[in-house]
């Protein structure tokens, strides 16, 4: 059994007008095909943090409505935890906000982009071989973000991107793996969020995003890549995987 600590940095907005699953339900569904993973959720957004990183085999930081530049105590503490996990060699996965704060903490930079919202199913070209996405020359993931990583962290290998979001995915050795897109999201989830935030996103971009929701989505493939990355990490023992 692999013990995966999900550091929950957000959850569904209770003001959404359409019923959708919360973060825990989405991540449980994401990892359901991989029963070797035992998930536990820690609400870092509420100031909860693991007592010891030694209790876990791997960590995953979720998306969040917060920006990494927000002056919030829990974001400061999360940065300190990221540094500890990265130094330990345990696998650390970042999704959306997680992707951004890991990069920014480990020597890269993330900002609110002047390109506006990246929303809907977006296609990123695979620009470097990782061994994690065999046979794929691009990946389609549901996106919902204003912030972007504009500088990868030290030692990172950027392996996916496009003109809108050049750093859509990166890894650092067998320790860090991050994606701007959401492998856990469903079209119903992003549609409900767009419905609520249409004024912020803009009518034209919402229309384009809704049209994209019929595209192929590679969430299962990206999940398998995350699973393989964690299982192949030198810090995850054979007994954990068994």
The answer to whether 145 is a known catalytic residue is no
- Would you state the structure tokens that stand for residue 212, as one six-digit string? 């994209």
Q: Among residues 96, 143, 165, 178, which one is catalytic?
A: 96
Q: Which of 143, 145, 182, 221 is catalytic?
A: 182
Active site residue 96: yes
Among 99, 165, 178, 184, the one annotated catalytic: 184
Q: Cα(4)–Cα(23) distance, rounded to whole angstroms?
A: 15
Give yes or no: 5 in active site.
no
* CA 110 remoteness from chain centre: 14
Residues classed as catalytic? 96, 182, 184
């Amino acid at each position: 059994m692999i013990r995966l600590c999900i550091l929950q940095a957000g959850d569904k907005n209770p003001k959404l007008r359409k019923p959708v699953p919360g973060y825990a339900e989405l991540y449980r569904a994401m990892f359901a095909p991989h029963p070797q993973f035992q998930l536990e959720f820690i609400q870092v957004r509420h100031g909860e943090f693991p007592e010891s990183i030694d209790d876990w085999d791997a960590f995953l930081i979720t998306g969040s409505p917060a920006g990494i530049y927000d002056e919030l105590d829990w974001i400061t503490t999360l940065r300190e935890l990221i540094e500890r996990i990265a130094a330990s060699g345990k696998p650390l996965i970042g999704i959306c906000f997680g992707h951004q704060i890991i990069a920014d903490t480990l020597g890269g930079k993330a900002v609110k982009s002047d390109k506006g919202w990246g929303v809907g199913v977006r296609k990123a070209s695979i620009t470097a071989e990782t061994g994690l996405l065999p046979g794929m020359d691009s990946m389609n993931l549901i996106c919902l973000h204003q912030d972007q990583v504009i500088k990868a962290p030290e030692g990172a290998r950027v392996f996916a991107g496009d003109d809108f979001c050049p750093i859509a995915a990166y890894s650092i050795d067998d320790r860090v793996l991050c994606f701007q897109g959401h492998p856990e999201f469903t079209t119903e989830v992003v549609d409900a969020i767009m419905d609520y935030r249409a004024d912020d996103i803009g009518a034209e971009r919402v229309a384009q995003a809704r049209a994209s929701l019929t595209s192929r989505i590679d969430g299962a493939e990206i999940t398998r890549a995350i699973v393989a990355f964690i299982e192949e990490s030198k810090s995850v023992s054979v007994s954990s995987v068994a």
